[in-house]
Amino acid sequence: MKSISLLSLTVIFTGTLIFGMITGFKPSQAKKPWPVPDKNAKMANPVKSDAAAITEGKALWTKHCSSCHGKIGHGDGTKAAQLKTEPGNFSSPAVQKQSDGTLFFKISEGREDMPSFKKKIPDADEIWNLVNYMRTLTK
């Protein structure tokens, strides 16, 4: 097995560093799994997704979420660049395929840069309205 020369390692490291500087990518932004307990993931949304629920969800989004996640959920809010973790693109199929219960859990519990909203939005129906609004954030 050949060993990698110091020059090769230096070139690889420098290239990675330059790539990170150009793109703004931080190693901490690599996606890591966010496990959600099955009982939470399987929770059904008890709030009907109608115009009133979506309007309320949008107001909550504007107040609590858009500064990091962006106006339409693309992860490009005014605070996004300051975060250690990427806020994600909520219009992506990867987010949209998550269950309502999964989204509810993540909003309620938070992790790392994502704060818990169970105290800021103590009414569970309001968090469900936020989930209903998030469903409208498609490409």
Q: What is the pLDDT of residues 32-74, one digit of tens each?
A: 889 999 999 999 999 999 999 999 999 999 999 999 999 999 9
Q: Which domain holds residue 61?
A: 32-134
Domain count, the chain: 1
1 located within any domain:
no
86 located within any domain:
yes
Distance CA 104, CA 102 (A): 5
- pLDDT score recorded for residue 32: 81
46 located within any domain:
yes
26 located within any domain:
no
Mean pLDDT across the chain: 86
67 located within any domain:
yes
DSSP 49-103: -SHHHHHHHHHHHHHHTHHHH-TTSSS--TTGGG-SS----TTSHHHHTS-HHHH
2 located within any domain:
no
Helix (H, G, I), strand (E, B), or coil: what is residue 9? helix
Asked if residue 19 has pLDDT above 80, the reply is no
54 located within any domain:
yes
15 located within any domain:
no
- pLDDT score recorded for residue 56: 98
